[in-house]
Chains A and B, each alone.
Chain A
Amino acid sequence: MESFLQLLHNAVPSLLQGTGVTLQIAAISLLLGMALGLPVGVGRVYGPRWLQHLLAAYITLFQGTPLLIQLFLVYYGLPDLGLTLDRMPAAFLTLGLNSGAYQAEYLRGALQSVGEGQMTAARAIGMGKWLAVRTIILPQALRLVLPAWSNEAIAMLKYTAVVFLIAVPDLMGQAKILSSRYFAPIPIYMIVAVFYIVLVGATYLILRQLERRFHIPGLTGEAH
């Protein structure tokens, strides 16, 4: 027991440091994914046919293959094409591209569930297609997409755990160093698991508050 407390005492500072990196990667990648998923989702529904196909191909490629292979392709593969990225930018780019595909699909679902009559009505009063999307459809769709988006945020937080494989010093990266330094993999990874449980739990609670705040009143019985 005493040795476990000693281990905890030694491990916690660097694990906290790793937590900072994990949160940073998750937050930046989610924002990148949003910046990408928003236009892709809209283009997928309202764009011209050729654009829809192109965007569908991007989504299939990133949803149909494992994140880890995408990460290795970006970090180890792109230098072959003359694009060498540092660890952190490689992590941001890969996770952002990956999350963008998922966020685009969620947004597509939300856009399609806004009543079709609204577009017809907006066009009837003389609005252009894009003006109608921007001012009528999208504001509703963004509120509808929030529950799915929360799931994506939590999934992202967990998926950042693979970036230690390109030597990013996130929570898992620190754990790997610690477990070989103290020859105690099981307790170290258990402590790391607790860290993730706290992170995921806190994120879940915060996002549920957001969902309550922004859900469309009377539309669903959820978030109460």
Chain B
Amino acid sequence: MEFFQNLVTTFNFILQGVWVTIGVTAVALAVGLVFGVTMAMARVYGNPFLQTVAAIYSVIVRAVPVVVIIFILFFVIARFVNLSPFWAGSLALGFASGAYQSEIFRGAFRAVPPGQMIAARAIGMSKLQAIQSIILPQAARLALPAWGNEATLVLKDSTLVFVVGVPEILRRAQQVSARTLEPFLAFSVAMLLYLVLTLLTTQILQWFERRYRLQM
């Protein structure tokens, strides 16, 4: 009887962290998308200076563990602005994801036939206009499978904002286990909730992939 009481308490307590996890993941993915697309554009269509900057960002950020990046950015951000752990953690995670996303979009930009850029320039479009209205819509669809993979990775990496005190699934599991004194139960529930989240995300992404697939 006491076990079921604990199970219900644990489940309800951790469930509130699910929304925080989803929030962190969504913000980080959006921030990473902005960084990723911008850096990929700089890498493929930029001048040599921009290309170098984008390459350095991608290589360095991908060589450092995400949790280290979260620590560094958390303290750097805290020095300049007063952001809540949620926003600081999500931004840091997004900055890290941006490097991985820039590689995905770089590949996608390269996969769009170069003749399209030439044609767009020939009819008088500027480089930026051409990227925005010709290249990007196709590249986005080409990038979808790899991007979906990155989305599930960010979902899992969102547990790392635990270290800066964001009350996401893992943090709440830890808190409730301190109260019920049943850590196995708490972390099992956290794990199962996560499993549901990742399986759900994979399903949704697969649907998107089928819907927007592009044959080239």
Q: Which residues of A contact B (CB under 8 A)?
A: 60-61, 64-70, 72-73, 76-81, 158-162, 165, 172, 185-186, 189-190, 192-193, 196-197, 200-201
The answer to whether B183 and A69 have CB atoms under 8 Å apart is: no
Interface residues in B182-215 (C-beta closer than 8 Å to A): 182-188, 190-191, 194-195, 198-199
B29 close to A (CB within 8 Å)? no
- Tell me whether A77 and B163 are in contact in the complex, defined as CB-CB below 8 angstroms, given that A61-B195, A65-B195 are known contacts: no
Cα distance A64–B199 in the bound complex, in angstroms:
7
Stretch at the interface among B34-42, B61-69, B82-90, B132-140: B61-69
Q: How far is the CB of A164 from chain B (nearest CB, A)?
A: 8
Known: A78-B184, A186-B72, A192-B68. A69 touches B163 (CB 8 A): no
**Given that A76-B187, A80-B183 are known contacts, is A159 also in contact with B65, CB under 8 Å in the complex?**
yes
A-B contact count (CB 8 A): 104
Cβ of B122 within 8 Å of any chain A Cβ, yes or no, is: no
A73 to chain B, nearest CB (A): 4
Per a CB cutoff under 8 Å, which of B60, B76, B79 touches A197? B60
B67 touches A64 (CB 8 A): no
Contact in complex: B68, A72 (CB < 8 Å): no
**Which of B45-53, B112-120, B123-131, B153-161 lies at the interface with chain A?**
B153-161
27 contacts between A and B (CB under 8 A): A60-B195, A60-B199, A65-B156, A66-B157, A66-B194, A67-B156, A68-B159, A69-B159, A69-B169, A69-B173, A69-B194, A72-B174, A73-B184, A73-B187, A77-B187, A80-B182, A80-B185, A81-B184, A158-B63, A162-B67, A186-B72, A193-B60, A196-B63, A196-B65, A197-B60, A200-B64, A201-B63
Asked if B162 is at the interface of the complex by the 8 Å CB criterion, the answer is yes
B19 at the interface (CB under 8 A from A): no
Minimum Cβ distance to chain A for residue B89 (Å): 14
Task: Take A66-B170, A158-B65, A161-B67 as given contacts and tell me if A186 and B76 are in contact as well, using a CB distance cutoff of 8 Å.
Answer: yes
A70 & B64 in contact (Cβ 8 Å cutoff): no
The residue on A at minimum CB distance from B152 is A64
B13 within 8 A of A: no
Question: Roughly how many angstroms separate A78 CA and B183 CA in the complex, as a whole number?
Answer: 8
Instruction: Please determine whether A197 and B67 come into contact, CB atoms closer than 8 angstroms.
Output: no
Least Cβ–Cβ distance between B14 and chain A, in angstroms: 11
The answer to whether A77 touches B188, judged by C-beta atoms less than 8 angstroms apart, is yes
**A interface SS class:** helix
- A73 proximity list for chain B (CB < 8 A): 184, 187-188, 191
Beyond A69-B191, A80-B182, A197-B63, list 6 extra A-B contacts (CB 8 Å).
A65-B198, A69-B169, A72-B170, A76-B187, A77-B183, A162-B160
Q: Does any Cβ of A come within 8 Å of B9's Cβ?
A: no
CA distance A196 to B163 in the complex (A): 19
Please tell me if the beta carbons of A200 and B187 are within 8 angstroms of each other in the complex: no
User: CB-CB < 8 A to B158: which residues of A?
Assistant: 66
Which residues of chain A have C-beta atoms less than 8 A from B199's C-beta?
60, 64
Residues of chain A within 8 A of B76, CB atoms compared:
186
Tell me the complex Cα distance, A115–B175, Å. Answer: 52
Give the residue among A68, A165, A185 with the most B Cβ atoms within 10 A.
Answer: A68
Residues of A within 8 A of B194 (CB): 64-66, 69
Q: Find out whether the CB atom of A161 lies under 8 angstroms from the CB atom of B173.
A: no
Which A residues touch B163, using CB under 8 A?
165
